[in-house]
């Protein structure tokens, strides 16, 4: 193998050093600056994307905060409207209850008045019938003729005494 011949070591090391220097020079002057530029471009793009994402996130958080504020305000307004509606409904129910109570009281008073009138009319009829019966009974039993006024007076006295 020619690589292991000792007399060829020195020229091989010389050409190795020359080849290494040329490749190093080419890499340092041509390839590595391009790679560095590409890496820097990528880094700038990534940083730009991260900045843009942070800005979008900040905007999204701001919109979310505005949404939650609007939602809280809407809920408060809804609660206020519900409270007003409940108060109005309770007032209306109270008013209707009072109207119904008044109407029922009037009807009860009217019914009581009709009952009293019917009772008075019935008592007058009972007095009249009782007076006629008493007058007829006295005439039949004892044969004395009693006037209608006297019979009514006797019936009234008996009814007053019975109470």
| Ramachandran class of 5: left when φ > 0, alpha when ψ lies in -120 to 50, beta otherwise | beta
State the pTM of this model: 0.43
Query: Under 8 Å CB-to-CB from 139, ≥6 apart: which residues?
Result: 145, 146
Kindly report the length of the chain.
163
DSSP 14: H
The pLDDT tens digits for 35-55 are 999 999 999 999 999 999 999
pLDDT for residue 2 is more than 70: no
For the residues of 119-143, what is the DSSP string, one character each?
A: HHHHHHHHHHHHHHHHHHHHHHHT-
As a whole number, mean pLDDT of residues 14-20 equals 95
Domain ranges within the chain, ordered by starting residue: 2-162
pLDDT for residue 4 is more than 80: no
Least confident among 4-8, 16-20, 32-36, 82-86: 4-8
The pLDDT tens digits for 72-122 are 999 999 999 999 999 999 999 999 999 999 999 999 999 999 999 999 899
* Cβ count within 10 A of residue 135: 19
163 three-state secondary structure:
coil
Structural contact between residues 127 and 157, judged by C-beta atoms closer than 8 angstroms? no
- Cα-based distances in Å from 52 to 43, 44, 49, 65, 103: 14, 12, 5, 20, 75
146 three-state secondary structure:
coil
């Amino acid at each position: 193998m020619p690589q292991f011949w000792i007399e060829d070591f020195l020229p091989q090391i010389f050409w190795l050093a020359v080849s290494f220097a040329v490749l190093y020079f080419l890499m340092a002057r041509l390839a590595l600056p391009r790679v560095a530029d590409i890496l820097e471009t990528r880094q700038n793009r990534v940083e730009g994307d991260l900045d843009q994402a942070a800005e979008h996130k900040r905007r999204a958080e701001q919109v979310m905060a505005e949404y939650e504020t609007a939602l809280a305000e809407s809920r408060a307004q809804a609660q206020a409207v519900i409270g007003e509606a409940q108060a109005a409904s309770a007032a209306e129910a109270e008013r209707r209850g009072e109207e119904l109570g008044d109407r029922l009281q009037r009807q009860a008073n009217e019914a009581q008045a009709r009952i009293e009138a019917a009772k008075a009319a019935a008592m007058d009829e009972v007095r009249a019938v009782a007076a006629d019966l008493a007058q007829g009974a006295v005439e039949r039993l004892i044969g004395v003729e009693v006037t209608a006024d006297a019979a009514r007076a006797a019936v009234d006295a008996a009814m007053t005494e019975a109470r």
